[in-house]
Amino acid sequence: MEEVDVEPTTTPIPGFDSNKKHLGFVWGPGDILVYETIYKASGGSAGGCPFVHEVRKDEDIYSPILRKLFNESHHIFVGLQRIRDDLPSKNKKPQFVSISKNYRSVIRACMEELQQVAVSTQDAALATQYGNQVSILLAVELIWNLCEVLFIDAAPAGSLVLHLLDWVRLHKADVDEKAREVLASESPAEHQAYWDVVISYVLQGRMDEARQVLVKRATLQPAARAMFKLLDNLLMKMPIFNPGETQTLTEFDVKWRHWREEVDRCLQDQSFASNPHLEDICKILVGDEDVLLEHKELLSTWYHFLVTRLLFSHPTVKPTELHYYAQSSMHMFLDTRCVPEPLDSILLAAFEFDIHQVIKDCSIALNNWWFVGHLTDLLDHCKLLQSHNLHFGSNLREFLLLEYASGLFTHHSLWQLAVDYFDHCPEFGRVYLELQIERVPLDTERKALKVIRICEQRQMTEQVRSICKIMAKKALRNNRLGSALSWSIRAKDAAFATLISERFLQDYCAKGTFSDLDLIDNLGPAMLLSDRLTFLGKYREFHRLYGEKRFSDAAKLLLSLMTAKIAPRSFWMTLLTDALPLLEQKEVIFSADQTHELMFCLEELTSGKSVPNPDRPMQDEDIETTKIELLRLALARNLAMAIVKEGTVEV
């Protein structure tokens, strides 16, 4: 995740003339576009073509590794929303802490994978990019972990320092690596980093590890064994508050003060005067700030210095007192001439319990809304942000989630995750979803069906119709009539269904067969959407009845299509031609009345055709005339047979 508090790379524009061309920009969820506009002065014109320049793009959502972060955190987010609001906060606290740890484990997993890729890649630019992302994720996890300790877990006095020690140890793991190197050497006690390891362990409150390493040195110096034994005893006896025990905080404080006085006496007695390293460790145990600051390189950060200072000087510090020690530790540790980094300001705001400042600073320092969106959501569930509403009507949680989800919608697959985020934004989530869902590129029918399913689940009727219309037009452009008809039926678009039905009929006239028979055969009630679609369905049914040799039913249906005016007039000749095989059957299919109706339809159709059409080829005219003559002959023959069969003559 790149920082935004840096100047974007300048993009040179060829042929840019400030007298003729101006710049505009659009800042979208995924990137910033700078476009060149041509300024025309009065009486003049500016030549050339305007260009669009992509100044900066949020690459995070396009990183395969970081996409895992977005996917995994989405599951955690959805699970958090299912925690019942009516449960007492006390009962929900363990769940919130567990969810916070889950978020952090996802961050750490992505960070470790990025580190592996950064080491293995041969591309220097990629290695740098991955390295930068690792640095940002390290900072993100550091901030989240601290917020977990201070706000979500809300560790009380006594436990607070223990939690902060765990926080420092987790983010200062180079001590263990250095210790492994020392202990793996031929003579660990004489290794140049030996005392750095011992003191680092003490600075982190890891007394057992420090004692184990000290034993290596004690065995080499028999004369100083008593001195080592004394320090070992002090390290072993250092009281550590255990919240699980029956010991009260006051009892622990008394016990700790007695131990502190014992360490003080050893210093006053100059018990370690002959060994500067042991004396330094003893001074650290009494919280000597000057000695602590002498080991800046081992502490490396002001917040490590803060936690070590609290451990040896104020182990029962209360959360409300933290801000004083944090401010003084930062001023003592950092050079007065250097300006605090954004990370320093964020951590200080956390120690000051200014949640909103933490969120604000993180929003500025990071170019992606993932961190602030999810952290704010969790803090909101912990009832820690209830008082903070924004001036435009939405609360802080919803605003950040809306921004994060809008960014996800710019990605070809992550947009599906964004839907759940919008669902859990009660104020504006629905509006945002309606606007964003229309921008999803409908590359395939499968993707369109996904979008429609999402819309249907949320009763977004207009969006469903719009998507179906788009897909219907796209299918029609590709001459996929069956798909186009299916989409238009789903959109309940009568006009478009009529248009596609016309195309089906034109194709039938040209080829003599129907395409997409399964679709037409199973139209069901959908055929009532338009008259033309009704005709298409019924006409296909006529062919099915004919194929099944149910000639009587087929004849009735064919006649009804014409007499009920369902069939378009332009298609009557085709229908009459379809009647020819039925008229030629040995068995009389059409009754006398039905034959009269067919004759009437033929005469009505041909009554206006006495004058030849000059636009039609002569050959077509001849074919048409032949068809009409054949029909008249067949109708006359069928009428005679029907009259004989029925045994009566109609007057």
Tell whether the model's pLDDT for residue 155 goes beyond 90. Answer: no
pLDDT confidence of residue 423: 94
pLDDT digits (tens, 9 = 90+) for 180-237: 998 888 888 888 888 999 999 999 999 999 999 888 887 777 767 888 899 999 999 9
pLDDT digits (tens, 9 = 90+) for 490-527: 777 777 777 877 777 777 666 666 666 556 655 666 56
Tell whether the model's pLDDT for residue 626 goes beyond 90. Answer: no
pLDDT confidence of residue 410: 83
The residue that leads in pLDDT, 609 or 364, is 364
- Contact (Cβ atoms closer than 8 angstroms) between residue 535 and residue 567: yes
Question: Considering only CA atoms, which of 271, 185, 284, 260 is closest in space to residue 228?
Answer: 271
- Contact (Cβ atoms closer than 8 angstroms) between residue 631 and residue 602: yes
pLDDT digits (tens, 9 = 90+) for 332-375: 998 766 778 899 999 999 999 999 999 999 999 887 799 999 99
Please give the helix or strand (H or E) that residue 142 lies within, else none: helix 124-147
Tokens of 462: 């207009």
Tell whether the model's pLDDT for residue 255 goes beyond 90. Answer: yes
Rounded-to-integer distance, Cα 376 and Cα 360, Å: 11
Residue 35 burial (CB count, 10 A): 13
> Region 432-445: what's the mean pLDDT?
88
Distances (CA, A) of 511 to 183, 516, 533: 87, 13, 19
Averaged pLDDT of the chain: 81
Rounded-to-integer distance, Cα 539 and Cα 372, Å: 61
Residue ranges with strand state E in 95-254 = none
pLDDT confidence of residue 76: 95
pTM comes to 0.77
Distances (CA, A) of 164 to 150, 239, 444, 488, 559: 9, 17, 52, 62, 89
Rounded-to-integer distance, Cα 451 and Cα 463, Å: 9
Q: How is the chain split among helix, strand and coil, in percent rounded to 5? A: 65, 5, 30
Tell whether the model's pLDDT for residue 532 goes beyond 80. Answer: no
pLDDT confidence of residue 18: 47
Top-confidence range, 319-333, 571-585, 610-624? 319-333
pLDDT confidence of residue 158: 84
pLDDT confidence of residue 425: 92
Tell whether the model's pLDDT for residue 40 goes beyond 50. Answer: no
pLDDT digits (tens, 9 = 90+) for 458-486: 999 889 888 888 888 888 888 887 778 77
Rounded-to-integer distance, Cα 39 and Cα 61, Å: 36
CA 60 from chain center: how many Å? 11
Please give the helix or strand (H or E) that residue 35 lies within, else none: strand 31-38
Please give the helix or strand (H or E) that residue 318 lies within, else none: none
Rounded-to-integer distance, Cα 172 and Cα 305, Å: 12
613 exposure class (CB count in 10 Å sphere: 0-12, 13-18, 19+): exposed
Name 22's bridge partners.
37
DSSP 575: H
pLDDT digits (tens, 9 = 90+) for 99-136: 999 999 999 999 999 999 988 888 888 888 888 889 99
> Region 63-89: what's the mean pLDDT?
86
Question: Considering only CA atoms, which of 584, 585, 566 is closest in space to residue 575?
Answer: 566
Q: Which amino acid is at 560?
A: S
pLDDT confidence of residue 357: 92
Tell whether the model's pLDDT for residue 26 goes beyond 80. Answer: no
The residue that leads in pLDDT, 229 or 385, is 229
Distances (CA, A) of 171 to 144, 155, 227: 12, 19, 33
Tell whether the model's pLDDT for residue 39 goes beyond 50. Answer: no
pLDDT confidence of residue 59: 61
Lowest mean pLDDT among 146-155, 207-216, 307-316, 510-519: 510-519
651: confidence class by pLDDT, cuts 50, 70, 90: very low
Length of the chain: 651
* Strand 31-38 relative to strand 52-57, pairing: antiparallel
pLDDT confidence of residue 106: 95
Tell whether the model's pLDDT for residue 275 goes beyond 70. Answer: yes
- Contact (Cβ atoms closer than 8 angstroms) between residue 33 and residue 52: yes
Q: Residue 495: which residues within 8 A CB-CB, separation 6 or more?
A: 530
pLDDT confidence of residue 569: 74
Rounded-to-integer distance, Cα 376 and Cα 398, Å: 9
Rounded-to-integer distance, Cα 151 and Cα 153, Å: 6
Lowest mean pLDDT among 35-44, 506-515, 596-605: 35-44
> To the nearest whole percent, how much of the chain has pLDDT over 70?
81
> Region 157-174: what's the mean pLDDT?
90
